[in-house]
Every structure is written in structure tokens, then in C-alpha cells.
Structure 1
């Protein structure tokens, strides 16, 4: 029997992690996940969400029913990405992917999945991608926008993108909320760090010519593309004014922006309308960022009230997932 998702809106940006993997992969920058009086912590940082919401599949279903979501494509929270080539990283990735495949298989079409890969080793990642591509209901992989001192136009991430494209898997790019001394207060590591990480990755993909080199790549950036929609005019100006900006790409960034996918998590009608204007409604997919405190708790209602077309959202999701 061919695997199919349930009818209704498809949320492509939602997180899940089984409790047995709360220890996180080797080299995780924040330390392990812990449950403190029912609240989720990463290291010493409280995440302002109930612990059970991250791993309880029944709780995810309840939230989907409340929000009118037909199916959710689950991915690991970004602090569970296997960033470093350390002993145990591949075992962690395999354990997550096996557990995700079970949830998808047993979900009756309620869930799809974006698997994880061992990011530091492109050869290992390629083998993991080949396994994921053979798993029903696994539609792609989730990766961070930056890794060490590089982004999507450099190794190892560019090889991971190429392997995903070759195996007909989509790529979801999710910021890791990397620590920075200048962003330590006021939750700025999220409020500013996340959108800047995402914009960095989009600029690297477009200005680095990677989107042109990999025309079959289906790639989605969350949080409405971060601050990229506001910066496209600046990027286009630099692309025309400076040879070092345009030397790797043949089209201005604003043109390439209409070929990537972006989710609806903008938290603001004006920001959403700018995103739709810059990307086109055919490239916007529904997202929630469940279960985090920065999630859009009513993504369908918000997107439709801001002017999104439900049929266009559905078509974009199907195209991203390769359905």
C-alpha cells in the first residue's frame, strides 16, 4: 500500500524527539535536554514548554486537531542536529531516524518526516540520505543554516544538499540559535540570531550559485526566511555593483528567491505580505514551529487571515515534499 498523508493542511515545520534521545548527540552545544518539573530545559536554559509536548505523539495529534491541521511533517529540534564528527554521532542519527520512521509508519497518514544526517561527514550523510530515501513517509532531511564557519555554499553542507537532490529528498533548513555574547540578553539569541542565521543561509545558497548548480533541489527555509525578504533589495544592489558578490551566480538574489520554499511563521501580517510579494504564493508552505514558545499556535487561521490561499499552500507543500 502506498503511503499517503491525511487530507487537509500540511504543516511542514514541527518538531519531535523521543525521550530516549534527550541526551542529544555528541558535541551538542547546549548540553542535554532535561525534564524539570514537567518543563523542558536544554542545558540550563528553560524552553517555556511542557516536556511531554516534545515527544508525546498523542499530544501532537490533539494540537493538530485543535488547529485544523491534516498532517504534520516532523523533524528533530535543532539542538539535536549531529554537528560534529564524534563517536556516537552516527548511532544517534540512526536511532532518531528509526524512531521517526516508526512514528510515521504508525501514524495513519497523520505524520511525515524529515530525517537527520551526520553533518560533519558528507560520505556518511550520503549513505544516511540513501536509507531515508527508501523509507515511506520520509520526505527529506532537516539541517542547520550554518555549520562551524561555513554555510550552504561550502563543505560539508553543499555536499549534503547535493546528495538530497540526487535522492529526491527535500531539505528543511532550521536555525540552531547559536550562542553569541552580543545576543545573551532578552532572548536575542532567538529573536535576532534565528532570522540572521536563516538569511545567511539563503544568501549563501543564492549568491554562491548553489541553487543554480542544483536545479532539482527542493529546499525550505523556516520562519518566513528570517530577515531575507527585507534584505533582497540590498542584496540585488550589491550583486549589480560588486563583482565579488555576483561572480558565483548568474541571476540576482531576488530572482533566485522565487525558487526556494519558505514557511508561514512570520508572527506578523505585514511581514507575511512582504514574504508573499517577494517569493510568490506558489513558494509559501504552512509551518507552525510546534511545540516551541515561539511557535504559531494557529498557523492555518493566521495564514488565511493574512491573505494566503489554502489551495496554494497545499500545492506548495506537495511540491516541496515531492508528492
Structure 2
């Protein structure tokens, strides 16, 4: 079987295949920001975010987001960009800046309901092409199952979560291994909800406040820590049916599972929480393809399996890609794996209709 080429050359052939599905795309919801405006916790959270990112990064990020407001808020602009990129369906999640995990219970419920309704309304403008995810308040684990149900009741596919949240008492973080999240994992498993793990903010704080290390190092670090909590605590043993998608290819973890496996084999404290070698759990999770490097994507496919990788772009932010299919071509996967990642895997995960379409491929190199 021929392989796609390492770039995106002139097209010479097409195949009939399932739709191209991008599972990592965002929407901005002004109503959420209006709801939190003026709350003391917002100023504190923004101050922490500023310290973590540093002034140079903030000076770049502000104008970058501003120029992308139409793509983040206008469904017509989104659809035009999707057409240009050859993307048929997007799974749209709120911008992680909407988490507001500092909020008290009443405000947190209000924020999540607004995010759920806002995302559902945005996707309803093109329901055949846009699927959505809502939010739950990780800082209040007891509220998460009910707000997951709220999101699902609006027709959303599931919810987006971060890698951790501050505890309501301010003493320490709520990790994804927190026992109080067990009812949430149970409800997500029972309903078949999609959970999109997308970090926002790295607890290394000012150590990453230059050169945009807060994102380039911080995001993959947070992914690795969060997934490790899920694995080593036994969450994935207790809830094998979870449909959890890790953004950014799961961060550093898939490329460093040998060390985790060695710890599990060598130390009783590392082995206490999970039943199997940590690397085996990668095949119980899903990962988006946004790793920015062909070698890294090939390694992710080897580690997790081609059936566990989904196309992702981080639309429309500058740390994403404008052409996720071309990035997938560069990995030179065989055609079955290419199409699985391009759309088949996500169609199965989302229950998306599998109507075929003509998909351009690079010239046959056989």
C-alpha cells in the first residue's frame, strides 16, 4: 500500500472516505466573561496568569487573540476556514480561558451553564458540521456530574476539563486522581460522554515566564502529569469505558513511558494504584495529532495505536496548525492509519454519520 508523501504536493488522485474531523477547536463566549467581570477572584486569577506567562508573552498573545475573534465567535467565518483546510466537522470546545476554576459554587454553576448553552447555540448554526463540548467545575467535584448531564442534555458530546483545579479551600489542587471525582468519572463512563483534557496554566509558574515556555513546555508538562494521575491512581482501571481525549498528543508522557514502566516494575509505591504497566493504558485513551513534528506523531501512533489518535488543529490559535491534514501527511503513515486519524476514529467516538466524500491524497508513490 502506498504512503502519503512527506509534504502536501499537487493533488493527483482522490478516494472516497469518511469526513475529515478536527477534534481540537475552540470558541470564545462573551457571556461567560460578562458573568465573571468584577469578581475579586477574577483579578487574582488574571494576576497569576500574568505571572506565569510573563509580560512579553502577554504582549504577543493579546493582539493574536484579538485578530482571531471572528474565527472564535462567528460560525460563518469558522465554516469558511474549515472549508479552506478541508475539514468537514469540528468538535468545538470553549476557550480554556473560560474555566474560571476560582469561582465559588453558585458562580461556577452559572459559568458552566452559560458555556454549555453558548457552545450549543454556536454549533446549532451548522449542526451537520459542528459538534460541541461544555464545561464542568473541577474545583467543585460534587457539581461535575450534574453539569455534565446539563451539557449532554443540550446535545453536546461531552465536556472539556483542565489538568487540575485549585481546591475551593485554597490549600492544594484538585488532581484528576482526587477520589471526589469518582462520581464524575462514573457518570461520564455511563453516558459515553467525550472528555477533552486540555490544560490551562502550568504550576511551574514563574519558572516558565520567558520565551513562551509557559505554553511550549508548560502545556505538555501538564498533560503528562494529569494523565499520570489517571493511570497511577487506578482511575482507568475503575472506569475502562471512559472516552478521554488528551490534547497536544498527550504532552511528554507517550514518549517517556519506559521510565514510568520501570518505576511500576521496580517500586511498590509506584505499583500500588494501577493493575498494569503504565504504558498499556495509552491504548485506553485518545490523543489528538497536534504534536508539530512528524517523528513525534509516528511515535505517538506506535505508542497508543493508530486507532487512538484523532486529528487536531487547536483552531484558530497560533500554537495550532492551519492545515492539520497536511501535518498528518508529513508523518508518512500508511493509508489505513492516515484515514483512521483523519476522520474514522473520531466518527466512531462521536457517533458521527459516516457519509463518504472525496478526499484528496498526495500522488501515488508506489
Tell me the residue number matched to 1:289.
Answer: 314
Question: Gaps spanning 5+ residues in structure 2: where?
Answer: 1-17, 50-56, 167-172, 353-366
Give, in angstroms, the shift of residue 42 of structure 1.
7.4
The alpha-carbon deviation at position 229 of structure 1 amounts to 1.4
**1:8 and 2:32 correspond:** no
Equivalent residue for 1:17, pick from 25, 28, 32: 28
2:211 is aligned with 1:200: no
Alignment equivalent of 1:247, drawn from 260, 263, 272: 272
**Matches of 2:135 and 2:34 in 1, distance apart?**
16
Given that residues 211 and 256 in structure 1 are in contact (C-alpha distance below 8 angstroms), is that contact kept between their aligned partners in structure 2? Answer: yes
Matched, 1:311 2:328: no
Q: Does 1:209 align with 2:231?
A: no
| Structure 1 residues 171 and 43: CA distance shift in structure 2, 3 A | farther
1:48 aligns to 2:48 (yes or no): no
CA distance in structure 2 between the partners assigned to 1:24 and 1:268 by the alignment: 39
Gaps of 5+ in 1: 1-6, 34-40
Aligned length: 308
Higher helix proportion, which one? 2
Rg (Cα) greater in structure: 2
Distance in 2 between residues matched to 1:30 and 1:45, nearest whole Å: 14
The question of whether the paired residues in 2 share the 8 Å contact of 1:151 and 1:200 is answered with no
User: Structure 1 residue 131 and structure 2 residue 159: aligned?
Assistant: no
| C-alpha separation in 2, matches of 1:172 and 1:47 | 27
Partner of 1:97: 116
Q: Secondary structure at the match of 2:256?
A: helix
Alignment of 1:104-143 (within 5 A): 104-136=123-155, 138-143=156-161
For residues 46 and 217 of structure 1, the distance between their equivalents in structure 2, rounded to whole angstroms, comes to 36
Change (3 A) 1:310 1:135: farther
Preserved CA contact (<8 Å) 1:12 1:317: yes
What SS does the aligned partner of 1:147 have? strand
Q: 2:197 & 2:87 partners in 1: Cα distance?
A: 21
SS state at 1:73 partner: strand
Q: Is the 8 A contact 2:31 2:114 kept in 1?
A: no
Secondary structure of 1:96 counterpart: helix
SS at match of 1:69: coil
Q: Is contact 1:282-1:316 (8 Å) kept?
A: yes
1:80 aligns with 98
Alpha-carbon RMSD across the aligned residues, in angstroms, is 2.3
Change in CA separation of 1:247 and 1:311 when aligned onto 2, cut-off 3 Å: same
Which stretch has the larger CA shift, 72-81 or 298-307?
A: 298-307
1:160 and 1:271 map into 2 onto residues whose CA distance is 32
- Work out the CA distance in 1 between the residues paired with 2:276 and 2:64: 42
Q: CA deviation at 1:120?
A: 2.2
Greater relative contact order, per chain length (Cα 8 Å cut-off, separation 6+): 2
- Compared with structure 1, are the counterparts of its residues 262 and 47 closer, same or farther at alpha carbon in structure 2 (3 Å cutoff)? farther
Deviation string 1:225-280 (CA, Å, 9 cap, x unpaired) is 10011210000000000111111111111111111000000000111111111011
